[in-house]
Amino acid sequence: MLDVHHKGRAVVSSGTRESMERDAEVLHGYGLWATVSHDR
Amino acid sequence: VSDPGDDGAAPEIAEEIMTGFRHTPRGVSARFTAAEAGIVRSLVGQVAELVGGPGAAEEPQDPGGREGAGETADGPLPDDLAAMLGSFGPAAPPEDPVLARLLPDAYGDDADAAGEFRRYTEPGLRSGKVAAAQTVLATLPAAGGRVRLSDGDAEAWLRSLNDVRLALGVVLRITEDYEHESGGLDPADPRQAYLHVYDFLTYLQETLVRALR
């Protein structure tokens, strides 16, 4: 989580698109700017 | 949240620093002066109205007095379908920068995916923020005094305080370097008074988190 402090962002979760969207929705509820992206 | 340059009337906070939240056997607790309660209530109410529309800051009415959902039965759509359609949000992100921060895009590089996500999640995100704000307004008397929160109320307070800090942060253009820069702000800068409010909210949030551990 120190990545958030030093780089301004961090990967906090990975998995299927559906479960990532669910996590992002929860994090938005806490005011955290979560985004979903696809690893290439 | 109004622009700090709107009027000359800067909010005031008592010189005597409040002690913030503390853990007590009957829940977390803090004492507010009327001025402190007024500032928190005003900002929380403004964010609720920004997110939920006019009237969102009013305390929920007695459910018995509400128009029941079933009363629209003679409309062209069955109730549940109308409710389902009505529950979708917009696909486009808000233009207001404060709202855009409170209701962020979930995909930075894919506008279609971001729009789809927003349509399904934004109404719930908005109603959750409004509900948290209403909990703060219902548990913080306008006259101030001792506030005691259940765990559930405390979580709503944390969400709501965080929303207000995010909103103020956008308006005041506070970045992650804020703590290092704040000493250098021109004392005549109209943002100065609101930075004290921001610090006060940060202090409340920090003591509340500590009191809950």
Tens of pLDDT along A3-30?
776 777 888 888 899 999 999 999 999 8
Predicted interface score ipTM higher than 0.85:
no
Residue B174: partners with Cβ closer than 8 Å, 6 or more residues away: B168, B198
Tens of pLDDT along B29-86?
999 999 999 999 999 999 999 999 888 888 665 544 434 444 444 445 556 655 555 5
- The model carries a pTM of 0.78
B101 and A30 within 8 Å at the Cβ level: the answer is no
What's the gap in Å between the CA of A1 and the closest CA on chain B? Answer: 15
Angstrom distance (rounded) from CA B99 to CA B103: 6
Of B66-80, B93-107, B170-184, least confident by mean pLDDT is: B66-80
Q: Which long-range contacts (CB under 8 A, 24 or more apart) does B151-155 make?
A: B151/B27, B151/B212, B154/B27, B154/B28, B154/B208, B154/B211, B154/B212
Tens of pLDDT along B121-170?
999 999 999 999 999 999 999 999 999 999 999 999 999 999 999 999 99
Tens of pLDDT along B6-17?
444 555 555 455
Give residue for tokens 């979930």: B106
Say which of B103, B108, B159 has its CB closest to residue A35. Answer: B108
Q: What DSSP designation does B182 have?
A: G
Which of B:56-95 have CB within 8 Å of A? none
What's the gap in Å between the CA of B202 and the closest CA on chain A? Answer: 14
Closest B-chain CA to A8: B176
